[in-house]
Amino acid sequence: MQKVTTGDMQYAGTWDHIYVTLFGTEGQSERTELDNFGPDFTTGTVMIVKLDLGQRNGFCLCILYIYFGVEFWYFSKIVVTTPEGDAILFPCYRWISRGELVALRGGKVLFSNFLCFFRWRIMAEGLPHINHCDNASELPAEIRFSKTKTTEIDDTKRRMWLNYHDHHVVSNLFKNILDISIAILPEYVAKHWKEDDFYGSQFLNAVNPNVIKRCSELPPNFPVTEEMVKLFLEEGSSLQKEMEKGNIFLYDQKKMDGIPPRAYNGEPLTVTAGLCLFYRNPENKLMPIAIQLHQQPSEQNPIFLPSDPETDWLLAKMFIKNADSMDHQAVHHLMNTHFLAEVYTVAALRSFPVIHPLYKMLFPHFRYTLHINTVGRKSLIGPDGAFSKVCLFKIYISEYSNYSNYAFDIPNSNSTIYQMKILNTFVFVFTSFVKAVVEYYYASDSEVYKDTELQEWISEIFTHGFLGNKASGFHTVEEVIKFITMVIFTVTAQHAAVNSGQFDYYSWVPNGSLLLHKSPPTTKGQSNMNTILETLPDVGETVSFVGMTRLLSETYTDVVPMGIYPEERFDEPAPKQMIKEFQAELSYLSEEITTRNSQLEVPYTYLNPAEIENSVAI
């Protein structure tokens, strides 16, 4: 007897002819049409069918065939109950196309890898490799966006175009755009973006919070003197004393030095490799106190101070935020989450059979990643994109050339003590879950070493993701736990931290833009408000930019929150219980964060588990 379950998502059902064949150690069953009275495979249906299996047993493979039907059918699983009462799970959880033969693997035996659809492709020398598809339509159906999500994205685009187009020519553009959405934080940003304490807080609590470092000694190329900054320090203190107390922080964008200008409508757009000095004052506010817009000091590269003319200081802060936005999107968002997630995903699809326990654990965290990356590359990388391949190559080499350990540590943070507590809690919760699952399947280091599919996965990651930086291979259970914890953290919490707040902080474009039209100032006292307006993107560019951040920050109906595994892939009770305990820990953390946020003027929601998606899906 077998139980066949179709998906419960929209557009998943079919009324077409479905056939099944079971294979066991002693032969195979006859090909049988799955047919009961009534609509067999409408959305959410569970069908029970009896098959004459004779004396055959040891079933480990199931072949499905859909004939003369609609274009796609979403199929969940088959559970085969033997005459002895044993239940064998054959998970599918994918879209099946008309005329397709689908082999499902069941039981507890690990099989050799099968011929994989996915191939690697080089996007540019020196960058992580990508999947071979040029368009999302070339991806297998189970990898692509659902019809529900595609419909909602298209609808969001239409609504944004209509709303923003209606406000395209009004003089007070920014406020009108914000009035379209019920968004409290963007309104707060629009009101406070010029203020130094809010500017500093964004380097702790906004979309790029891990870029400042405590400064105990000024770099020689940033000649800030005591006389320059003493007005902005606590009375009676000094720069040296505050560095000794740990109250001085440095933002150094030297990785952007030498990045070639990007052409935009024929004009070169220079990104400044600047430095910004911050002071944590007695009120525990992080204040910018000195800015140099290029790496090498000179008469044409003055150090700007809060005491300079208002528009001079504002321009200096805008150019630092421009470089920060480029660093955020290119490194911390695109490369550190999207690109790495794609490497992990393609390597898993090429290396693991679907019955492999680590595939079952990891695949829900790779949902939609290949689709969003394939679509996003066209708009982000190219002649009219925000980044060129040359730009990404130079940043990537600067960022990753010094990595020596494949089990990368989860990023350290210079953020608030509470955020550090959240990050540490995430590490503990993730590690506990991964440790429980991995140790259930790998009782010893020798079992790790002998798992050729696991070894193939990490080898592919290093060959195609980190470009053979170091000889790869897992030797211990502990190494597997650490690496998989890092993978899950990257595609969930880390991606949420750098993605979810984009509309909040970037929809007010003066607060942070990838595009500034004028060159950085080289002298003081030559700017005014017209200079600010000429530097900012024009109306059309602003509308496009705000629309993009809105699209990336939207919540869609078929979102899967972190830790939720709607697809039943494990059939053993133990890992099912581990998932429940993992979900309970995340729920507790979510309640704690929600309670704290209710007391804050500017809540930090991006690391709330209830707000984090289970994969890099947008």
Give residue-wise pLDDT tens across range 310-361.
999 999 999 999 999 989 998 899 989 999 999 999 999 999 988 899 999 9
Neighbours of 224 (CB within 10 A): 21
Asked if residue 420 has pLDDT above 80, the reply is no
Q: DSSP secondary-structure letter at 598?
A: T
Distance (Å, whole) CA 348 – CA 361: 11
Element containing residue 448 per DSSP (H, E): helix 445-450
Question: In the structure, what pLDDT confidence band is assigned to residue 408 with cuts at 50, 70 and 90?
Answer: very low
Strands (E), 267-372: 267-269, 275-280, 286-292, 303-304
Q: Is 333 annotated as a binding residue?
A: yes
Q: Is 349 helix (H, G, I), strand (E, B) or coil?
A: helix
pLDDT at 433: 97
Q: Is 303 annotated as a binding residue?
A: no
Could you tell me how many residues make up the chain? 618
Question: In the structure, what pLDDT confidence band is assigned to residue 466 with cuts at 50, 70 and 90?
Answer: confident
Strands (E), 147-240: 213-214
Q: How far is CA 471 from CA 20, 197, 465, in A?
A: 44, 46, 13
Neighbours of 419 (CB within 10 A): 19
pLDDT at 64: 64
Higher-scoring residue by pLDDT: 15, 328: 328
Domains of the chain by start residue, with CATH: 2-109 (2.60.60.20), 326-500+555-611 (1.20.245.10)
Q: Which residues contact 534 (CB under 8 A, 6 or more apart)?
A: 517, 518
Higher-scoring residue by pLDDT: 323, 39: 323
Q: Is 618 annotated as a binding residue?
A: yes
Quick one: CA dihedral 605, 371, 489, 575, positive or negative?
positive
Instruction: Tell me which residue of 340, 353, 350 sits closest to 492, measured CA to CA.
Output: 340
pLDDT at 431: 94
Q: Which residues contact 425 (CB under 8 A, 6 or more apart)?
A: 589
